[in-house]
Structure 1
Amino acid sequence: MKNRAVVFAYHTIGCTGIESLIKAGFEIITVFTHKDSPNEHIYFESVAKKCAEHNLMIFAPDTINTMKWESYIAELNPDYIFSFYYREKISMNILELAKIGTFNLHGSLLPHFRGCAPLNWAIIKGASETGVTIHHMTDRLDAGEIVAQQKIPIDINDTARSLLHKMNIAAELLLDRTLPKIKSRNYVTISQQESQASYFPRRKPEDGLINWDSNSLSIYNLIRGVSAPYPGAFTFYKNQKIIIWEAALLTHNSQNDKNSAPGTILSTDPLIIATLDGSLEVKSCQIESLTDSNNTPITNIWLNGNQLAKHFNLNRLDKFGPVKNKQEKLKTVLIIGVNGFIGQHLATRLLADGNYRVHGVDINDSAIASLKNDVNFRFYEADILLHKTQIEFLIKSSDIVFPLVAIATPESYTKSPLTVFELDFEANLEIIRHCVKYQKRIIFPSTSEVYGMCNDEKFNEENSNLIMGPISKQRWIYASSKQLLDRVIWAYGSENQLQFTLFRPFNWMGPGLDSLELARQGKSRAITKMIANLVDGEPIALVEGGLQKRCFTDIEDGINALIAIIENHNGLCDGQIINIGNPENEASIAELANRLVNAYVSHPLSKYLPKPLPIKVVDAMDFYGQGYQDVDFRKPDISQAKNILHWTPEIALEQTLKNTLDHFLRQAVKLNKNQSSYEALK
């Protein structure tokens, strides 16, 4: 066997990966890399030069995920596909061309620090260790089974540069140890624990702005986490940008005037700046666009803290901070219903992004308690039916409003229709009117159910008719409320009184979808109810045989779409209705139940729980009561989302199902008497 490999590589780690493959005896048949950006400081080794040294075929396309390159790689018939710091996500169409396996080298100890810039984020978040991981590539970024890992300790004095050096050494050690095992197929993989996963977005140079209202350690970690060769952490004195490359944590407070506001200069020699809880000493910095006596820009002038103070003639009690009236302040996103399924995931993602302040409203904080330590998060315990004055004040104080509060379960539609109308229509109508009054942008969640009994093969935002069932079918009171609100919002928008985007989430699923307790009370979605049946030793009940088909969408895909709507590049989302669903993940409720049972049986925690009972079929009247009606299918047309948001769902139903089940089984076993067994397993 020749062990033919197609390689995707960039950066110094990419060069290390190529050398390691050659050393291990793999035949590299083609390498794909990136063109160096003229706007980026290139501090790392060139994969193109490395390929020239070894006479390897190399390409640098703008994008790899095209039919042209799929066909080319298919003709190569590779045994393996390897990725080393390649910056574009590789499609499953390409990954499936590898006959034996696909392997990626990621710069963290997965499942921690998934996503972009894991090295920088590890320092910024104050981690004491990180590492490198070799894992299988799947349709989810950095989520495949782990093949091997190498830990790297992070010292309190480590910077991005020193950690990068450590990481390259660790990558070489890990590859040299693991590639022979991959070649001989003599290795064991372990699944990633989704409950331990953390995802971080790509960092931009502007993310380096120092918030002096943070504590000293957080600012210190930011400075060393984005220090050279990265763009650097920065602040402003008046209108002049200053990049701080190196700082020192002070071990005493003798210089610190406790009455000084964060950002205040406490000393000029050495240069010491007040923070929220102490102070930092500036050791090395750079003035961007310093000018001489002829007003000619002089660049790359590096100074120590005292030299900086002399240049600006700084005095004690002068202040550093953002440029007044020039720095864009953090936008405030108000999430009404933040403790709910979408609310908790959206708030978590916005806070991780770092560009938003989140105000969350709900009647409790059980799902988002961990967010309350974030300086950019404020939680308000309130009921929109009771605390109307407070809700109005919060809308007035926000930039973007997400009203996510709704009663959205079939039991409620049929058994408490007036309560559904009061909350889902009347209370939300008040929120819309406040947004009009205070000129706030609203992003409103309609649902796929506004389509009612529509028979279109694919539901289109612009053209599909919205059809309700007979008046006696109270099941549609929720859909009618949502549809009427859509029309009210559209009417306000057509008169230029409201900036809005409507989004329709098609059967989003994932960890945190309802709760087992709500499922036991009959107040949850179908998937959570099924899981509750399994953990309680009850048979899953399929209404009318579970023949209805739905298109299930992973919450991570859904949140990615919402982030694009919030960012609203060039205002393209204004006045739009956007379906957010996954047409490829269509399955009947019966099929979903059978897949769930199979996943449950194979899950390691199921041995602490009851064995599944046979699935039973129930009558809709017996299960939901009078007034229930449903549709056979509900498939979205997502061309609008693709064109406006440049968004395509990526996560397969099987993976979403596993993640959701794992989340609830860990909760169930933790609450079970087998506490010690669970902890041992964990």
Structure 2
Amino acid sequence: MRVVMFGYQTWGHRTLQALLDSEHEVVLVVTHPVSDHVYEKIWSDSVAELAEKHGVPVLLRERPDDAELIEAIRDTRPDIIVANNWRTWLPPEIFDLPPHGTLNVHDSLLPAYAGFSPIIWALINGEERVGVTAHRMDPELDAGEILLQRSVAVGPADTATDLFHRTVDLIGPIVTESLDLIASGEARWQPQDRSRASFFHKRSIEDSRIDWTWSAEELERLIRAQSDPYPNAFTHHRGQRIRIVSAAVSEACYGGTPGRVFIREGDGVVIVAGADARSGKLRGLVVRRLRTEDGTEYAATDYFRTMGGYLTARP
């Protein structure tokens, strides 16, 4: 089949590589210009550079809403469009243009976690599995019929970085298998159960700010979800921002006011956590390692020389 590809960053790069390695012909690539957004500078393998290396024409667009782009796609006479990590909505003039429509590849187990940063949100929420879905694009974002899904288990110590690497490795096989099924006429599309749908916004620095009224379990997942190279979860101590690099849920229960720098436990320092921490029935968050704004990393037991005082959301 003749394929037009829309994509960006490493997700799009893996998709394009799979297409180039397949028996199908990539006739045009559309990608975004390089961005300064903090999350878009992570996993930023260039789709444009890969396409140019293989002699595939490339168009750069922030949004796919101009007549010139639509005409360029039409001129290539595509059988299908394949999209992965395209950051804006595609209009029906584009996604319905080829005979086989548009196959979108999304890094969640749809219908849950449509939208942005699904792996990070899923880890924060304690999901047991994450994965990749290949589905038909329709007018509603990430809502079209599903062709294939593949998943991996989330382990108790997994970070977002771990899960990124495991899920991005699913992209090539799912793209290849999906196109082969479509080309052979053997594709079987399944409607999404929209009662199970959820949609998440793009993450920003504000979403990494620690709220000490969250439970220790939730905060420990947040810290794993904001692992390097993502912007780390952060809080403030004596007016200075500190980033929490490694943490665990305490073995004992600790009572008091959320955010209190309380006591050493094991190889870390316990911070009181949870809206109902005053009950004394909740676990605390054991901070093990942290990083100051100048980039210096400390063991928490070295940084917190004395107990007492509070970690706060703002200076």
Structure 1 residues 204 and 71: CA distance shift in structure 2, 3 A: same
Moved over 6 A (4+): none
Indicate the residue corresponding to 2:291 in structure 1.
286
- For residue 39 of structure 1, report the CA deviation from its aligned partner: 4.3
**Structure 2 counterpart of 1:319, from 286, 310, 314:** 310
1:13 and 1:84 in contact (8 A); partners too: yes
How does 1:177-256 map onto structure 2 within 5 Å?
A: 177-250=177-250, 252-253=251-252, 256=253
2:8 and 2:31 in contact (8 A); partners too: yes
1:223 and 1:246 in contact (8 A); partners too: yes
3-state SS, counterpart of residue 139 of structure 2 = coil
**Structure 2 counterpart of 1:301, from 276, 296, 314:** 296
Indicate the residue corresponding to 1:35 in structure 2.
33
3-state SS, counterpart of residue 272 of structure 1 = strand
Question: Deviation string for 1:108-146 (max 9, x for gaps)?
Answer: 111111111111111011101111000000010000000
Tell me which amino acid in the other structure corresponds to 2:7: A
3-state SS, counterpart of residue 148 of structure 1 = strand
Indicate the residue corresponding to 2:279 in structure 1.
none
Gaps in structure 1 of 5+ consecutive residues: 289-298, 325-682
Question: Deviation string for 1:373-410 (max 9, x for gaps)?
Answer: xxxxxxxxxxxxxxxxxxxxxxxxxxxxxxxxxxxxxx
Indicate the residue corresponding to 1:81 in structure 2.
81
1:111 and 1:198 in contact (8 A); partners too: yes
3-state SS, counterpart of residue 12 of structure 1 = helix
3-state SS, counterpart of residue 228 of structure 1 = coil
Q: Tell me which moved more, 16-25 or 32-41.
A: 32-41
Indicate the residue corresponding to 2:268 in structure 1.
270
- For residue 199 of structure 1, report the CA deviation from its aligned partner: 1.4
Equivalents in 2 of 1:196, 1:119: separation in Å? 17
Indicate the residue corresponding to 2:9 in structure 1.
11
3-state SS, counterpart of residue 224 of structure 1 = helix
Equivalents in 2 of 1:68, 1:177: separation in Å? 32
3-state SS, counterpart of residue 245 of structure 1 = strand
Indicate the residue corresponding to 1:52 in structure 2.
52
Equivalents in 2 of 1:308, 1:36: separation in Å? 38
Structure 1 residues 257 and 110: CA distance shift in structure 2, 3 A: closer
Indicate the residue corresponding to 1:127 in structure 2.
127
Q: Which has the higher strand share?
A: 2
- For residue 73 of structure 1, report the CA deviation from its aligned partner: 1.4
Tell me which amino acid in the other structure corresponds to 2:57: M
Indicate the residue corresponding to 1:23 in structure 2.
21
Equivalents in 2 of 1:176, 1:61: separation in Å? 26
3-state SS, counterpart of residue 222 of structure 1 = helix
- For residue 225 of structure 1, report the CA deviation from its aligned partner: 1.3
- For residue 40 of structure 1, report the CA deviation from its aligned partner: 2.7
How does 1:405-484 map onto structure 2 within 5 Å?
A: none
Higher relative contact order (CA 8 A, sep 6+): 2
Indicate the residue corresponding to 2:62 in structure 1.
62
1:159 and 1:224 in contact (8 A); partners too: yes
How does 1:368-407 map onto structure 2 within 5 Å?
A: none
| Matched-pair identity in % | 29
3-state SS, counterpart of residue 43 of structure 1 = coil
User: So what's the TM-score if we normalise by structure 2?
Assistant: 0.91
Gaps in structure 2 of 5+ consecutive residues: 275-281
Tell me which amino acid in the other structure corresponds to 2:143: A
Q: Does 1:97 align with 2:97?
A: yes
Indicate the residue corresponding to 1:140 in structure 2.
140
Structure 1 residues 307 and 37: CA distance shift in structure 2, 3 A: farther
Tell me which amino acid in the other structure corresponds to 2:262: L
Question: Deviation string for 1:168-212 (max 9, x for gaps)?
Answer: 112223223332112222110100011111111121111111111
Equivalents in 2 of 1:62, 1:190: separation in Å? 31
Structure 1 residues 307 and 54: CA distance shift in structure 2, 3 A: farther
1:24 and 1:180 in contact (8 A); partners too: no
Question: Deviation string for 1:422-448 (max 9, x for gaps)?
Answer: xxxxxxxxxxxxxxxxxxxxxxxxxxx
3-state SS, counterpart of residue 261 of structure 1 = coil
Equivalents in 2 of 1:323, 1:10: separation in Å? 34
1:223 and 1:247 in contact (8 A); partners too: yes
- Which structure: larger Rg? 1
Equivalents in 2 of 1:18, 1:101: separation in Å? 17
Tell me which amino acid in the other structure corresponds to 1:223: I
